[in-house]
A and B are shown apart, each in its own frame.
Chain A
Amino acid sequence: MVTLREVSVDELRHLVSERALTGETMLLNMGPQHPSTHGVLRLLLELDGEIVVNCIPDVGFLHTGVEKNMEAKTYQKAEVMTDRLDYLNPIGNNLVYCLAVEKLVGLDVPPRAQAIRVILAELTRIASHLLWLGTSSLDLAAMSTFLYTMREREMILDIFEMCSGQRMMTTYVRPGGLWRDVPVEFEAAVRRVLEVMPRRIDEYERLLTTNELFLDRTRGIGVITAEECVQWGISGPVARAAGLKYDLRKVRPYSGYEQYEFDVPTQSDGDVYSRYRVRVEEMRQSLRIIRQALDKLPYGPVRSNNRKFVPPPRSELGVSMEAVIHHFKLWTEGFMAPKESVYAAIESPRGELGVFLEGDGGPKPYRVHYVTPSFANLQIMPLLTRNHFIADVVGIIGSIDIVLGDCDR
């Protein structure tokens, strides 16, 4: 099993230029173990001196077989797998899966659960952008930002841990609502984030936004136009940095995003710097959404009352035989979903994250397909890196914010 396969240039003949075959340009392997590939991405670079002529991404080093494995589990149990796909956006992954399941079986979600979902999804977005800001500026040799952003990220992870008992892989959002209601300390903790974060975001901006070295490394690097984004199916901050005002929270709202007031930040240059500006501004908008959602957080149940799909509360199990039967059926057999297919999508920190879910009338999904933004974003790497210095490739990988778990599934 443990054998390395030699790759000959003949296999890649159609991807490299003529000059690579004569040896005029050099083929350089970058990754899968490279500090700036953010995981296990392999890039095959064709170099003319220090200039990138061609870039051939090779993904799949983190292929986990999640889609196949989910087919072997019931709808509830399969959800655990979804956290580990895009490991910087676990709640978003849960959310989109639950939205798809809810759409497939026709399940309602109470308003309180929806509002909490929104708060947690936006907190996840901030946490993801914080980690992105830290690591991508680390790639550009701005070490200190990393230490600051990870400090704030811990605050958000503490909130997740408070709600679900896990820092990262929460599985807190469930089909039909949430696992359980948020604890009483939740509001104070989120308010604290709301209070602290704006100052801290200003602090990061002071470190980077007008930093001469940072500007030199990011301005005019890895440019993509809005037309190309449409053509290549790019969404999220990369598209918005190119001037494409496309945000799923606005155009196809889910979980009650239409109730909240927020802007979709866009830039026009489409380079690494614009992507940085868009993401930083997105964090501020996320804070705005969280504040509104928290202010008018409705009271009420956090799980649907439809007992055919959602387990009954613990308190009922001791007094109601029916509740015991429902509980038993749900956790041994699972619920049945119709022989239909649905598509649900959310705006993940990286772009449009969709789920194509097909049921076959039984308790297990027949086919789950995750439409992931990193997969789309990585595909444009050859476009972005062409005619740039090899040192800029590092910045470009950082700027499109790839998560290989998301890409390879």
Chain B
Amino acid sequence: MGLEQKTAQMGVVTTTLEQMVNWARTRSMWPMLFGLACCAIEMMAAQASSYDLSRFGMELMRASPRQSDLMIVAGRVSRKMAPVLRLLYDQMPEPKWVIAMGDCASCGGIFNNYAIVQGVDEVVPVDVYVAGCPPRPEGLIHGILTLHDKVQKEKLTKWA
């Protein structure tokens, strides 16, 4: 059965533009293929066989920031990396979201020292923080779903 027939049987669906756009945004949120440290390994595990992130329309990791919507900062950000990270963020097209994955990205974690940025929110604005050192793949998936919820609730007036 074709899609037209199916939707025709369902009749008319009414929704708001806001909901419609937000729904579309959450369903294909492409993350940037960008790992920093230990959390990147768990991010890879989240995409691989056992956890399979593609269930959420996120199997497509884009290596280029210009094609991605979501930056997952997976790991500790050093003072040397911070400007590069900001540059990557600036290169991403709007709308864009950031997940700080792991303790180091969220608050510096156990590395409270000269070399590590104490929380990536000093460099880029963060939408969702995922705790754990490193977070389990389930933790990352939960973080992504939380971000989806957040995006669902975004207001039309904010886009302008």
Contact = CB atoms under 8 A, between A and B. Distances in A.
Query: Do A and B interact directly, with beta carbons closer than 8 Å?
Result: yes
B34 interface: yes
B49 A80 contact: no
Contacts of B36: 39-40, 62
Interface in A139-156: 146-148, 150-151, 153-154
Interface stretch (B6-14, B21-29, B113-121, B149-157): B113-121
A19 to B, nearest CB: 28
Interface in A344-399: none
B91 to A, nearest CB: 10
Interface stretch (A7-15, A30-38, A186-194, A308-316): A30-38
Contacts of B111: 64-66, 69, 81, 84
Nearest to A60: B80
Contact of A2 (B33, B76, B86, B136): B86
Contacts of B50: 150-151, 154
A168 B34 contact: no
Interface residues of B, number: 40
A219 interface: no
A113 to B, nearest CB: 25
A169 B134 contact: yes
Contacts of A131: 41, 44
A80 B80 contact: no
Contacts of B65: 33
Nearest to B111: A64
B133 interface: yes
A61 B81 contact: yes
B61 to A, nearest CB: 8
A88 interface: yes
**Among the interface residues B78, B86, B123, which one has the most CB atoms of the partner chain A within 10 A?**
B78
B28 to A, nearest CB: 20
Contacts of A60: 78, 80
Contact of A61 (B48, B84, B136): B84
Interface in B90-137: 110-116, 122-123, 133-134, 136
Contact of B38 (A2, A61, A65, A87): A87
A33 B84 contact: yes
A93 B159 CA distance: 48
B69 interface: no
Interface string B46-87: 001110000000000001010000000001101111111011
Given A62-B78, A80-B110, A87 B84 contact: no
Contacts of A134: 48
A89 B114 CA distance: 25
Nearest to B75: A62
A222 B44 CA distance: 27
A167 B102 CA distance: 14
A329 interface: no
Given A33-B84, A150-B50, A169-B133, A2 B123 contact: yes
A385 B118 CA distance: 36
Contacts of B35: 39
Contacts of B79: 1
B41 A168 contact: yes
Contacts of B116: 64-65
A63 interface: yes
B78 A64 contact: yes
A405 B35 CA distance: 12
Interface of A: 1-5, 32-35, 39-40, 60-66, 68-69, 80-81, 84, 87-88, 131, 134-135, 146-148, 150-151, 153-154, 157, 167-169, 404-405, 408
Given A4-B83, A68-B113, 11 more contacts: A1-B82, A2-B86, A62-B76, A63-B80, A64-B113, A135-B44, A150-B44, A151-B49, A151-B50, A405-B37, A408-B78
22 contacts: A2-B86, A33-B63, A33-B84, A39-B36, A40-B84, A61-B84, A62-B81, A64-B116, A68-B113, A68-B115, A69-B111, A84-B111, A135-B44, A146-B48, A147-B49, A150-B49, A151-B50, A154-B50, A157-B45, A167-B42, A168-B41, A168-B134
